[in-house]
Amino acid sequence: MRIGLIRHGETEWNATGLLQGATDIPLNSRGLDQAGDAAGLLVGQGWSNLYSSPLSRARVTAEIIGEGTGLGAPILLPGIIERSFGVLEGEKYWMPDGTRRPLDHPTVEPRAAVVERSLATIGEVAAAHPDEDSLIVCHGSVIRLVLTAILSAQAPHIGNLGLSILRPGAEGGFVVTLLNGYPLVPTP
């Protein structure tokens, strides 16, 4: 059983470095092309189920993947919606001095809350399909925070259409075997 976490295609806000969060920004033309390319790469890779965040950038990416792979329309999972950045949504991700914008504003959804709801949702998908491979199209912050929690180390930036793969681990948890397209050796 594999759980594939794949980030949605590019949006104009991605291209211009703006925080999206829960704001529903559509894919741009490059993002649509990326989704089509991903579908071509995912054909014949053993995926049986397709899920998506309800935000249009993820949902449309998943719909294109579903059509291209024969998986059909995705099942929507509100529990993996992007982290809310509150009043910071629409602001530049990078500060003028080249550092990341601090995300400590009280309207920003806490990291722990994102990890808790996302891992619970991923666990539900795993429990529903214990002998099948499921692909979940969602968001960069969700994937990065989930991977960081599993690895107990800071996961890198997740690129648009970056694929990470989880497999069952000890005591009902997960191990990461592919991180943003790079294979990892699972730890015992």
pLDDT one-digit tens code per residue, 83-130? 999 999 999 998 989 998 999 999 999 999 999 999 999 999 999 999
Residue 12 pLDDT level (bands cut at 50, 70, 90): very high
pLDDT at 185: 65
For range 146-169, the mean pLDDT: 95
Would you state the structure tokens that stand for residue 47, as one six-digit string?
Answer: 């995926």
pLDDT greater than 60 at residue 188:
no
Residue 187 pLDDT level (bands cut at 50, 70, 90): very low
Report, as residue numbers or ranges, the catalytic residues.
Answer: 8, 82
* Residue in 142, 160, 14 with CA at minimum distance from that of residue 90: 14
Q: Exposure pattern of 121-151 as b/e (b: 16+ CB <10 Å)?
A: bbeebbeebeeebbbbbbbbbbbbbbbebbe
pLDDT at 172: 79
Residue 168 pairs in a beta bridge with: 174
pLDDT at 171: 81
For range 35-50, the mean pLDDT: 97
For range 141-163, the mean pLDDT: 96
pLDDT greater than 70 at residue 53:
yes
Written in H, E and C, the secondary structure of the chain is: CCEEEEECCCEHHHHCCECCCCCCCCECHHHHHHHHHHHHHHCCCCEEEEEECCCHHHHHHHHHHHHHHCCCCCEECHHHCCCCCHHHCCCECECCCCCECCCCCCCCCCHHHHHHHHHHHHHHHHHHCCCCEEEEEECHHHHHHHHHHHHCCCCCCCCCCCEEEEEECHHHCEEEEEECCEECCCCC
Tell me the CA end-to-end span of the chain in Å, nearest whole number. 17
